[in-house]
Amino acid sequence: MEKLKAVVPETLKRRIVESTPDDLLSTSSSLLHFFHQLPLFHQIVGELTDSERGRLCSKNKKAALESKLQGNECFSTGDFSGAVQFYTKALRFAPVDVDNTGKDLVSVLYVNRAFAFYKMGLLEECVRDSSRALSISPRYAKAWFRRGKANASLGNHDDALRDLSISMKLELSLSGKRQIDNEMKMILDHPKDTRSSLQKSNECRLDISNEPCQMELQCVSTKTKGRGMTTLADIPEASLIHKEDPYAAIILKDCRETHCHFCFNELPMDAVPCPSCLIPLYCSQPCQVQAGGDNVHDAARNVSILNNFSDDLEKYISDTVLVKFSSSCSESFKEHSHECQGVHWPLVLPSEIVLAGRVLVKYIEQKRHSNLSFSLTGLWDLCHNYAQLPPESKLESHVYSIVLMHCLQHSYGSELAISGKTIAELIILLSQIRVNSMAIVRMTSFDAVGSLSQHTEFSLAADASTTTMKQIKVGQAVYSAGSLFNHSCQPNIHAYFVSRTLYVRATESVARGSELELSYGAQVGQWDCKDRQQFLEDHYSFSCKCSGCSQLNLSDLVLSSYRCVKVNCYGVVLDGHVVEYEKQKFHSFLGPPRMNNSNLLNQGDKCKIEGISKVAHLGLENIHLIKPGYCLNCGSERDLEASHSAISEADIHFRRLQDATASNDVRSNSLLDALSSLDLLRKTFHPFNRRLAEVEDCLAQAFCLVGKLQAALDHCQKSIEVLEKLYGPNHIAIGNELLKLASIQLSLGDSTASDSLNRVAAIFSCYYGSHVNNMFPFLQYLKEEALKIQ
Ligand SMILES: C[S@@+](CC[C@H](N)C(=O)[O-])C[C@H]1O[C@@H](n2cnc3c(N)ncnc32)[C@H](O)[C@@H]1O
């Protein structure tokens, strides 16, 4: 794309980078005309769309056979997990080539992988892979045999006997028949267990929650933030207020090999590749089929294998070989289909551009059913930020829109007319996606269901410092109604994802008529007002008008402040970069009539003033006394320059300690240096400065590593005390810190771990409601550990 951007003539480039939405028709038409005359453009589009020329993403039988061979070699040396990896790679390359002989390369690979799973004791994976082979090649005797053996080991004896009887009928060789016969005899000799296998239902189910969502919300026009959502009734804390599937979603590039391309959950070992191209991997067949891709498995359904079997077995066979889904799933839009003929533009173009392609194609499909004419302008009534985009982004939007439209036309067909008008509309669509899309996130350290095995190996002493949660972005999605929630740096709702479904929950009780606002990534307590504004400006191109940014709050005053030089003074000293933001807030707060008539203040305001007047009462009395370097309680001056250099020196020690902790090599001298730096920081910073919480946390982790758990506990508690001042006691940030505290307490055999864990559970429930147990199974595990030391 850089090559294309570089050849755009300067005059046209200038028109584009200076364009407003009104100019788009003209700039798009000019660039389109220019590209159409340009051999380089046709060459680039050709490479992106021609599967023969690209060959990056199309199936490749030779490469599949090579990987299969490597898998076989691993298998023969007993390296079963290596074999699984090579068979998975081979499955990715292997074209499905169904014939009536009963098996093809893909089904052979599934059966080989099933056998490796069997050897590893992963029996359910073995059953699933055998079934996958059968859904392509239902007459494949060995697949029925593998399935039968795994079912027998799982105790599903009835199913095992059925699998083996089918295998027996299909098996041609005498030695094979003998082997099956022996297996059946062994099962019959064992006590009968009539459990029926549930392998099909073990496949990924997208959303298992039945929690009702009956809140009545209303979209209203706000004074400063455009439209926003409010509630028509009082909402209790932790209520589910909104649930929605995405209009379109895409996996992020970094997660392509680790997470399912449809539901975004972590990939299991028995991942399922797309049958027609090399790009996506799915956690299960239902996810693969729902995402689309040429559904070559359909061919298998026509293969008649039901002759000569009893009614019972006929039904059993069709239950096993046909991939079943609920009707809503099978009818839903297949988002990957148009990207899936071996072309490699979906691999090369940025995720958000491919996402725009998915939106566009879904829209065309919807239009097709409603017989309305195609016009992207009517697609979404969502805001966008084209006018505020930096010049470089405007040029990129133009170039990518033209390239994407040509790629889509190649894959999707002539229904996609390419003109200056459609390109201009696509550019606006891209801007809408930038402003309105949401990052789908997952927990890393302790991800949802599936990581329990990890917890069973959880050793408290060693892992006390690592019981922490990080979120990683795995996907990007657009939710039509979810996009109407505005941002606040002091949010009252929380958004999270189960598979790809968006859930929104109230984290506090919300009164009827109040705005429901979530955080787009910046929060009070985390950054000061300036940094939050900068973040929102950079990522969403708006200047935040939320209550946290426009009204006085204690957290913003103290978060990066210094302590007063007077020994017993509790006042804050603000740095130059903070003063202007905070002064403005004092200004609007002190304006008439609120301070002149204290009866007009509500309870919340009164509490706020109480808290603020403890650290800045001079500021509340006279706005002119708010100056960088001067205490807002007593007016004493602090030498900020000297403070800055003292802090930079202390920071060096903490960075060293952090590095040592990360490389698990904490020495006593780096701990001593950090402790004396902590002393200095405590004398320099206000007691609620966020940096103090961070260094206390850093020390807690380092002490954990060297096994000094009591010291770790003390520093962890200190960190929590500061964070509670910044966030309030029930914020999820406190829950995360309490989790660390609880694991240290458990390692110490301290029975108060239960109290910490109960607090964590209460906080997490406000944010995740009924999903807490599914999303954080380790919490239950830690609670059980805590009970043992009661
Ligand atoms: C996802 S949309 C939310 C719905 C939007 N208000 C609308 O009318 O469509 C995000 C946009 O809403 C506006 N917005 C959301 N929160 C805001 C805030 N705290 N301050 C100012 N504008 C905000 C900005 O224009 C932002 O780009």
User: How far is ligand 1, taken at its centre, from the CA of residue 486, in Å?
Assistant: 5
d(C-alpha 48, C-alpha 54), whole Å: 7
Task: Return the minimum-mean-pLDDT range out of 76-85, 446-455, 599-608.
Answer: 446-455
* Residue 435 CB–ligand 1 contact under 6 Å: yes
Residue of 485, 488, 517, 542 to mutate, ligand 1, most atoms within 8 A of C-beta = 542
Determine the atom of ligand 1 nearest the C-alpha atom of 436.
1
Give, using CA atoms, the residue closest to atom 14 of ligand 1.
225
User: How far is ligand 1, taken at its centre, from the CA of residue 581, in Å?
Assistant: 21
Q: What are the distances in angstroms from CA 5 to CA 12, 15, 27, 399, 410?
A: 11, 14, 14, 7, 22
* Residue 227 CB–ligand 1 contact under 6 Å: yes
d(C-alpha 323, C-alpha 200), whole Å: 8
CATH code, residues 61-202: 1.25.40.10
- Give pLDDT, residue 599: 53
Domain boundaries, the chain: 2-37+349-436, 61-202, 640-788
Give, using CA atoms, the residue closest to atom 18 of ligand 1.
544
- Give pLDDT, residue 709: 93
For residue 615, which of 694, 675, 689 has the smallest C-alpha distance?
Answer: 689
Structure-block tokens of residue 368: 């097709």
User: How far is ligand 1, taken at its centre, from the CA of residue 507, in Å?
Assistant: 20
User: How far is ligand 1, taken at its centre, from the CA of residue 429, in Å?
Assistant: 16
pLDDT band (50, 70, 90) for residue 325: low
Average pLDDT of the residues in 757-772: 93
The sheet carrying 217-221 orders its strands as: 217-221, 227-231, 515-518, 486-487
- Mean pLDDT of the chain, nearest integer: 85
pLDDT band (50, 70, 90) for residue 785: confident
User: How far is ligand 1, taken at its centre, from the CA of residue 546, in Å?
Assistant: 10
- Chain-centre distance of CA 203, in angstroms? 21
Determine the atom of ligand 1 nearest the C-alpha atom of 545.
20
Token pair 């701990």 in the structure block, residue: 671
* Residue 147 CB–ligand 1 contact under 6 Å: no
Q: pLDDT tens for residues 458-487?
A: 444 444 444 456 788 999 999 988 989 999
Residue of 540, 541, 543, 550 to mutate, ligand 1, most atoms within 8 A of C-beta = 540
* Residue 709 CB–ligand 1 contact under 6 Å: no
Question: Do 61-202 and 640-788 show the same overall fold?
Answer: yes
**Residue 676: how many CA atoms within 13 Å on its side-chain side?**
9
Instruction: Say if CB 215 and CB 231 are below 8 A apart.
Output: yes
21 upstream amide cis, omega within 30 of 0: no
- Class of domain 640-788 as given by CATH: mainly alpha
Average pLDDT of the residues in 733-760: 93
Average pLDDT of the residues in 31-48: 93
* Residue 251 CB–ligand 1 contact under 6 Å: no
Which has more confidence, 203 or 135? 135
- Give pLDDT, residue 322: 74
Give, using CA atoms, the residue closest to atom 22 of ligand 1.
225
* Residue 522 CB–ligand 1 contact under 6 Å: no
Is 70 exceeded by the pLDDT of residue 687? Answer: yes
* Residue 536 CB–ligand 1 contact under 6 Å: no
Is 90 exceeded by the pLDDT of residue 87? Answer: yes
User: How far is ligand 1, taken at its centre, from the CA of residue 365, in Å?
Assistant: 29
